[in-house]
Amino acid sequence: MRLAPRLALTFGLLAAVSTAGVGLAVRTRLAEKETTRFQNDVKGVCDRLVDEMRRQGEADHTLIAGSCQSGELVERVGIAMDRGDLDERRTSFSELVRNQRRAFDLDELVLGIEGGDLVGASPTTLLGLPARDVDTLLRGNAERFTIRTGAVPALVSRCTKRSDGGRIVGLFAARQVDPLLERLARTLDVTVAPSWPRPVASVPAEEDAKKKNAKARGKNARPAVSVAPSASARTNEHARQAPSEAGELARAPCKLTDDDGAVLAFDVLKSTKELDDNLHDVDRSVGLYAAISAAVAFLVAIFLARSLGRPLSVLATEAGKVAAGEARPLEVRGSGEVQELASAFDRMIQDLAVTRRRLAAASRVAAWREVARRVAHEIKNPLAPIRAAVETLRRLRARDDPRFDEYFDEATRTVLDEVHRIANIVTEFTRFARLPQPKPQDIDAEEITRHVLQIHKATAGEVSLAFSAQRRAPTLRADRDQVIQVLTNLVQNALEAVKDTPGGAVTLATDTDGHYVTFSVADNGPGIAPEIAARLFEPYATTKAAGTGLGLAIAQRIALEHNGELSYVGQSANGKGAVFRLLLPIEGPPPMSDVPTSD
């Protein structure tokens, strides 16, 4: 598998796994928080039920205590008892008890006298209470409400008052817990499961109780969650009341106690459907966000893998061509390390190409250097016979030889011309073989270019000389005189090429890439023939009748010893003339020990 798919797969899997891990952790945390919140809600419902029942018991006790302290009913019973007409007024007192129970919205109200004398009771089923039970009801704790346990648990309140005759009259009030829990459970939308057995039917005998129940049912159109019956029947009745889609039930135990230590225990049951729905919402949200995050991460991974793998693939392809010398500069778009890698590879290719050309040129130079020495040696050998011939002619002249006049002028002219030509060749080859080492200094590329143009304006004639700077070239280290020598040679060759061209023009240009400075010399002349273009920088390769063919060879030698390059680029942009390029490194030539010697 190639690098880009592997990177995309690896990054995508890492992103998906990390996203899934984070999503699972978030889901677990949210689920724990939601479950804890729900349990706290159920426990809060339990606490609220207990508080409401306690508040109701205290409110009932306040009402009953007020009836004994300032109410007319107890006061009138005491007065009637002291007067002795209590029996005649029992019926009216019983009606008053029933009315006061309705007013206080109580389930039970008993009016009696110490010793067990029952004056009135509501509902009427309590009228048959034995005297001992009535006395027991009146003698309980009257300071606070108490809890009555048993088959019909209730919140009980009592009050007593002594008449002027010294007899004690008291009220006993009870609010049954089952209806109270049923009302509170309906309000809080929960189910209550008491620990005491609930009667199958608990309907008051009085007509007002029936009306009150009918009125309560009319206020609640939907079926309400009711108080659970006995412990043995709680499960079955809950199954009948709670629909199957309600889910499981959460349970919280509750206890209501009074000052005497009596305890009413019951459980609060609440459907977990709300919790399940919230958890499903959490799962859907986390899953959706996780899927979106994983998809985005996977797409980003693919993009990153392609942006990284594609430049590396191009780099590998071009690197495979380096050995064959066919590598091209990379056209890679990117940033950071990828761009730096591409730039470094381009510089390496450029440096490698320059090094190869330098090595090849150095090999050719070494070969031609040997040729130059041999040619110089061969040319110098005939000088002695030529000089001897001249001396012989001079001796003939001295002896007045009659043939002297016939050969003297022609022989001496020919010999001297040849000697002069041979001397020039020897001088050029000697200069080529013993080119001085560069003496680098900080120079301004544009200033040197303008200087070369200036010194050739006088000899340019009708030819147009122009200068162009693409990018501002920084200061570079090079031998000023040798650079001027190379540019002068190129400009002279260009002027020679366009001297017979109408509208002839020569353009010098400078440019830089931050590592090299480029000097370009372009003309619009007839150009260079292909057969001579491959041999331009070889000694004796020239198209000029009076040229030695060593100018460009010397110029290239100067470029190589500056760790640069002199090359023939080809025709100009308009398809005419020729363009030569001198490439010099900004940091200057290598140390003297690294430069090929001229020996």
What pLDDT digit, counting tens, does each position of 454-466 carry?
888 878 888 889 9
Residue range 403-431: mean pLDDT, rounded: 69
Q: Residue 78 corresponds to which tokens in the numbers above?
A: 């005491």
pLDDT bucket at 487, cuts 50 / 70 / 90:
very high
Average pLDDT over residues 573-578: 79
Work out the angle at residue 62's Cα, subtended by the Cα atoms of residues 56 and 66, and round it to the nearest 5 degrees: 150
Q: Which two tokens stand for residue 45?
A: 């419902």
Q: pLDDT grade, residue 201 (50/70/90)? A: very low
Tell me if residue 343 falls in helix, strand or coil: helix
Average pLDDT, integer, range 169-173: 91
The verdict on 87 and 113 lying in the same domain is yes
Which pLDDT score is estimated for 372? 67
Residue 79 domain-assigned (yes or no) = yes
Last residue of a domain, one of 217, 245, 271: 271
Task: With a cut of 90, say whether residue 539 has pLDDT above it.
Answer: no
Q: Lowest-pLDDT range, 51-55, 106-110, 147-151, 361-365?
A: 361-365
Buried b / exposed e along 358-388 (16+ C-beta atoms within 10 A):
beebeeebeebbeebeebbeebeeeeeebee
CA 5 remoteness from chain centre: 21
Residue 230 pLDDT > 50: no
Q: Lowest mean pLDDT: which of 177-181, 267-271, 352-356, 576-580?
A: 352-356
Dihedral sign, CA of 201, 204, 206, 208?
Answer: negative
Q: At 209, is the pLDDT very low, low, confident or very high (cuts 50, 70, 90)?
A: very low
Q: Contact, 156 vs 173, CB < 8 A? A: yes
Instruction: Specify whether 508 is located in the same domain as 388.
Output: no
Angle value at C-alpha 469, between 464 and 472, nearest 5 degrees: 160
Instruction: Compute the average pLDDT of residues 365-371.
Output: 67
Higher pLDDT, 240 or 183: 183
Residues in the chain: 599
Dihedral sign for Cα atoms in the order 407, 410, 411, 412? positive
- The conformational region for residue 131 under phi > 0 = left, psi -120 to 50 = alpha, else beta, is alpha
Which domain-ending residue is among 407, 434, 461? 434
Residue (of 526, 435, 547) closest to 486 by Cα position:
435
Q: How many domains does the chain have?
A: 3
Are residues 187 and 139 part of one domain? yes
What pLDDT score does 548 carry? 56
pLDDT of residue 509: 92
178: domain CATH number is: 3.30.450.20
Residue 304 domain flag = no
Q: Supply the pLDDT for residue 328.
A: 65
Is residue 379 over pLDDT 70? no
Q: Please tell me whether residues 451 and 564 are part of one structural domain.
A: yes
Residue 219 pLDDT class (50, 70, 90 cuts):
very low
Query: Which two structure tokens, joined as six digits, stand for 571?
Result: 């025709």
The confidence band for 233, taking pLDDT boundaries of 50, 70 and 90, is very low
The pLDDT value given to residue 217: 41
User: How many distinct helices (H) and strands (E) make up the chain?
Assistant: 15, 15
Q: What is the mean pLDDT of residues 414-440?
A: 69
Give yes or no: residues 181 and 223 share one domain. Answer: yes
Residues sharing a CB contact under 8 Å with residue 540, sequence separation 6 or more, in sequence order:
548, 549, 550
- For residues 543 and 496, the answer to whether their CB atoms sit within 8 Å is no
Q: Evaluate whether residue 23 is within a structural domain.
A: no
CB of 365 closer than 8 Å to CB of 557 = yes
Q: Say yes or no to pLDDT of 321 above 60.
A: yes
Q: CA distances (Å), 350 to each of 358, 564, 585, in order?
A: 12, 11, 11
Adjacency order of strands within the sheet including 154-162: 117-122, 108-113, 168-176, 154-162, 146-148
Report pLDDT for 391: 76
Q: Are residues 561 and 547 in the same domain?
A: yes
Q: Sorting pLDDT into bands at 50, 70 and 90, what band is 541? A: low
Q: Based on the domain organization, do 446 and 430 belong to the same domain? A: no
pLDDT at 91: 87
Q: What is the DSSP string of 196-208?
A: SPPPS----SSHH
Q: Are residues 47 and 140 in the same domain?
A: yes
Instruction: Indicate whether 396 belongs to any domain.
Output: yes
What number is the average pLDDT over the span 375-388?
Answer: 63
Please tell me the predicted confidence (pLDDT) of residue 273.
80
In sequence order, what are the residues at sequence separation of 6 or more whose Cβ sits closer than 8 angstroms to the Cβ of residue 205?
A: 123, 124, 125
- For residue 368, is it within any domain? no
- Pick the most confident of 328-342, 364-378, 386-400: 386-400
- Structure-token pair, residue 313: 């693939």
Any domain includes 363: no
> SS3 for 60?
helix
Confidence of residue 56 (pLDDT cuts 50, 70, 90): very high
- Per cent of the chain over pLDDT 90 is 16
Looking at residues 82-104, what average pLDDT do you find? 87
Contact yes or no for 48/326 (Cβ under 8 A): no
pLDDT for 521 beyond 70:
yes
Domain range holding 388?
Answer: 382-434
How much is the pLDDT for 58? Answer: 92
Rounded average pLDDT over 22-34: 81
Mean pLDDT score, 488-503: 88
411 and 473 in a common domain: no
Of the candidates 177, 181, 199, 203, the one whose C-alpha atom is nearest the C-alpha of residue 123 is: 203
Q: Give the DSSP letter of residue 324.
A: T
Q: Does the structure show a pLDDT above 50 at 57?
A: yes
CB 267 within 8 A of CB 254: yes
Nearest to 73 by CA among 137, 141, 140, 169: 169
Among 240, 255, 271, the domain-final residue is: 271
Of the candidate ranges 69-83, 284-298, 452-466, the one whose mean pLDDT is the lowest: 284-298
Residue 99 has pLDDT above 70, yes or no: yes
User: Which pLDDT score, from 0 to 100, does residue 176 have?
Assistant: 92
Q: In which band, very low, low, confident or very high, does the pLDDT at 228 lie, cut at 50, 70 and 90?
A: very low
The CATH number that applies at residue 447 is 3.30.565.10
Say yes or no: 418 and 450 in one domain.
no
Residue 86 phi, psi (nearest 5): -65, -40
Residue 157 lies in a domain: yes
pLDDT band at 214 (very low <50, low <70, confident <90, very high): very low
Model pLDDT, residue 511: 92
**pLDDT above 60 (res 116):** yes
Q: Is residue 25 part of a domain?
A: no
Residue 530 clears pLDDT 50, i.e. is over it? yes
Q: What is the DSSP letter of 594?
A: G
Return mean pLDDT, the chain: 77
Are 67 and 183 members of one domain?
yes
**Residues 417 and 446 grouped into a single domain:** no
